[in-house]
Amino acid sequence: WEEERYPEGIKWKFLEHKGPVFAPPYEPLPENVKFYYDGKVMKLSTKAEEVATFFAKMLDHEYTTKEIFRKNFFKDWRKEMTSEEKSTITSLSKCDFTHMSQYFKAQTEARKQMSKEEKQKIKEENERLLKEYGYCVMDNHKERIANFKIEPPGLFRGRGNHPKMGMLKRRIMPEDIIINCSKDSKIPSPPPGHKWKEVRHDNKVTWLVSWTENIQGSIKYIMLNPSSRIKGEKDWQKYETARRLKKCVDKIRNQYREDWKSKEMKVRQRAVALYFIDKLALRAGNEKEEGETADTVGCCSLRVEHIKLHPELDGQEYVVEFDFLGKDSIRYYNKVPVEKRVFKNLQLFMENKQPEDDLFDRLNTSILNKHLQDLMEGLTAKVFRTYNASITLQQQLKELTNPDDNIPAKILSYNRANRAVAILCNHQRAPPKTFEKSMMNLQSKIDAKKEQLADARRELKSAKADAKVRRDEKSKKTVESKKKAVQRIEEQLMKLEVQATDREENKQIALGTSKLNYLDPRISVAWCKKWGIPIEKIYNKTQREKFAWAIDMAEEDYEF
């Protein structure tokens, strides 16, 4: 993992790849699929039709009913129309996409019904594409590329209440593409008749391909897979930084507690914000341009309206009630008892302010991170999230693992430890649509298993009685096999019950994000080694590839 260290900022010496795979060109609808305007059939120009199909494909989705979505879509759609179409189509509500929508549904259905051979053919084609474009050579290694396919055109769907939802995401052409590779590599060729926007040779960055996206004007990249050396090393570094924080976190905590008393308002705000980031694992909270994105916040951008102060609540003193939308418009709701000083400071910060005013008006992420940099090299707000997540996993594993448990029960403990972290980081998911049903199915399985167990026990009992009377080898053997049957069923029942508990507790919680991004994998690897749990029970194939470095490195006595 440490074969060669590069000088500061150099990411590679040699980089060769085949460039991106473009989205397939638009295929016009068959003649018999109609679009209606104001009740009348209307044949659209190819460009207008393509954009119309984007809308038609989403027709069942809730956001096609949202006013902002419709407004943005219609505005961008009109830009693609011929002047004739533009003068005819003046109202989206008069557009009827249902026939188009039905056509696409039928297509989806037909795809599902394809024969094995046809499916196999598609699979092979994908594999060929992956083989040709999915890998690059970086220095001496062949590495997997993460997203070598360029995003196809479509309608922008932001998360939450996004002001730009419904806008047209335009088709990316070779002329938009910047290629990054080394000078002495075989430079990828653009599709026939096209040119790249630029070919550059910048070994201070890790991306292979980039383009500017038209909704936010931000840059998108093609980079390597998490299993690659360059990503793995960075990941490892991240956890090493968090481990360095472990060594000085007590000092930092004492420091910010002192700062709650500072004469300077700026210092007090910084100290309270840092307390939240540390205690609640909040994100830093950069400022965002108003009207460009959904209205979400993190710690430094919290507004007065996002917290409520309760001098007393449910028998606890100094409770802060948080209610705000964070990254991806996921709601953060939490009632937290805080120290008196923090509480008093918050009261002070909120004095004479409007609900929409910043809670920390003298603070931003840049000020905070500069301060953190002084406390420890490489320390930023997000390191606290990594540190607290990993240390929580380690503690919880110690606490919850029962040496006498069997493997499924130990894995439940692991999942619970993982869950504690996901809750800390507020990683949520929409409860699966079929949750109630699947829970009921599982319960009926458990009930059936219980009955089966009762039966098996009865059989065992009568076999025992029988053996007592007969006293022969054959009936003894029967007793033994009945005993085994009971045991087997008991185990199966237990497994089911564990599964039910696990699933219930996991209803609204997403474990994946913390597992993939916040938990030092060496903790998990060490735990597996210590308790003889096969690593496959914890990490699937992709995860094992991503964490290969940790699986290689960590021994059972690893301490975060």
Partner DNA sequence: GCGGTTGACTCAGAAATGTACCA
Partner DNA sequence: GTGGTACATTTCTGAGTCAACCG
Of residues 291-330, which lie at the interface with DNA (CB under 7 A)? 293-294, 296, 298, 326-330
Provide the β-strand partners of residue 178: 198, 210
| Residue 212 Cβ vs DNA, minimum distance, rounded to whole Å | 7
Q: Tell me how far apart the alpha carbons of residues 362 and 378 are, in angstroms, rounded to a whole number.
A: 23
- Please state the closest distance from residue 308 (CB atom) to DNA, in A: 22
- Residue 389 CA to residue 423 CA, distance in Å, equals 10
Handedness of CA 308, 313, 318, 321 (dihedral sign): negative
Residue in the structure block whose two tokens are 């840049």 = 366
User: Which is closer to DNA, CB of 142 or CB of 200?
Assistant: 200
Q: Does 231 bind DNA (CB under 7 A)?
A: yes
Looking at the Cβ atoms of 148 and 318, the one nearer to DNA is 148
CB of 89 to DNA, least distance (A): 25
Spatial CA neighbour of 267 closest among 370, 351, 353: 370
- Residue 215 touching DNA (CB under 7 A): yes
User: Which of 101, 285, 414, 489 forms a contact with DNA (CB under 7 A)?
Assistant: 285
- How far apart (Å, rounded) are the C-alpha atoms in residues 414 and 511? 11
Q: What's the CA gap between 439 and 37, in Å, rounded? A: 46
Nearest C-alpha neighbor of 226 from the set 145, 281, 290: 145
Candidate list 72, 241, 269, 386; residue touching DNA; CB under 7 A: 386
Among 27, 250, 289, 356, contact with DNA (rule: CB under 7 A): 289
- CB-side exposure of 504: number of CA atoms within 13 Å? 11
CA 311 – CA 502 distance, rounded (Å): 36
Q: Which of residues 106-125 bind DNA (CB under 7 A)?
A: 123
* Close Cβ partners of 155 (under 8 Å, ≥ 6 residues apart): 54, 55, 58, 69, 73, 166, 167, 168, 169
> How far is Cα 228 from Cα 134, in angstroms, rounded to an integer?
12
Task: Closer to DNA by CB, 206 or 396: give it.
Answer: 206
Residue placing its CB nearer to DNA in the complex, 94 or 119: 119
Residue in 82, 107, 366, 487 binding DNA, rule: CB under 7 A: 366
- Pairwise CA distance, residues 148 & 107, whole Å: 26
Side-chain half-sphere exposure of 425, counting CA atoms within 13 A: 31
Q: Which residues face 21 on adjacent strands?
A: 149
Footprint on residues 19-48 left by DNA (CB under 7 A): none
Query: What does the radius of gyration of the chain's CA atoms come to, in whole angstroms?
Result: 30
| Positions in 157-176 near DNA (CB under 7 A) | 157-160, 162, 169
Q: Running DSSP on this structure, what letter comes out for residue 358?
A: B
Contact predicate 268/260, CB 8 Å: yes
Binders of DNA in range 50-69 (CB under 7 A):
61
Q: How far is the CB of 286 from DNA (least distance, A)?
A: 3
| Residue in 22, 30, 85, 23 with CA at minimum distance from that of residue 53 | 30
CB nearer to DNA: give 346 or 389.
Answer: 389
Q: Which listed residue (88, 185, 255, 369) binds DNA by CB under 7 A?
A: 369
Give the interface segment with DNA, choosing from 26-34, 83-91, 351-359, 361-369 (CB under 7 A).
361-369
Least distance from DNA to the Cβ atom of residue 430, Å: 4
Query: Out of 37, 221, 260, 560, which residue is the one contacting DNA (CB under 7 A)?
Result: 221
User: Of the candidates 53, 72, 101, 210, which one interacts with DNA according to CB under 7 A?
Assistant: 210
Kindly state the smallest distance separating residue 369's Cβ from DNA, in Å. 4
Which listed residue (205, 309, 313, 375) binds DNA by CB under 7 A? 205
Residue 444 beta carbon to DNA: minimum distance, rounded to whole angstroms: 9
- How far is the CA of 149 from the CAs of 190, 201, 222, in angstroms? 14, 21, 8
Binding of residue 141 to DNA (CB under 7 A): no
Among 98, 183, 542, 556, binds DNA (CB under 7 A): 542
Determine the interface stretch with DNA among 64-72, 283-291, 306-314, 396-404 (rule: CB under 7 A): 283-291
Q: Which of residues 396-455 bind DNA (CB under 7 A)?
A: 425-430, 432, 434, 437-438, 441-442
Residue number, 215 or 446, with CB nearest to DNA? 215
Give the residue numbers annotated as catalytic, written as ranges. 518
Comparing CB distances to DNA, the nearer of 261 and 507 is 507
CA-to-CA dists, residue 473 to 53, 363, 477, angstroms: 76, 83, 6
Shortest Cβ distance from residue 158 to DNA (Å)?
Answer: 3
Helix (H) or strand (E) holding 97: none
Q: How far is the CB of 201 from DNA (least distance, A)?
A: 12
202 near DNA, judged by CB under 7 A: yes
154 near DNA, rule: CB under 7 A:
yes
Residue from 234, 308, 468, 488 binding DNA (CB under 7 A): 234
Pick the closer one to DNA by CB: 426 or 478: 426
Q: Which of 288, 306, 457, 495 binds DNA (CB under 7 A)?
A: 288
CA of 541: how far to CAs of 142, 230, 260, 414, 556, in Å?
Answer: 19, 19, 47, 18, 21
Q: Are strands 168-169 and 154-155 parallel, antiparallel or unpaired?
A: antiparallel
Task: Find out whether 48 and 77 touch, Cβ atoms under 8 Å.
Answer: yes
Residue partners of 215: CB distance under 8 A and separation at least 6: 156, 164, 167, 169
Measure the N-to-C terminal CA separation of the chain; round to a whole number of Å.
19
Residue placing its CB nearer to DNA in the complex, 286 or 501: 286
Instruction: Tell me 189's DSSP state.
Output: P
Nearer to DNA, 202 or 312 (CB): 202
CA geometry: angle at 318 spanning 315 and 323, to 5°?
100
Position 206 contacts DNA (CB under 7 A) = yes
The one-letter amino acid at 431: P
Note whether 371 binds DNA by CB under 7 A.
no
Q: Pick the binder of DNA from 114, 129, 219, 348 (CB under 7 A).
A: 219
Q: Which stretch binds DNA (CB under 7 A): 349-357, 409-417, 452-460, 540-548?
A: 540-548
Return the residues of window 480-519 that contact DNA according to CB under 7 A: 510, 512-514, 517-518
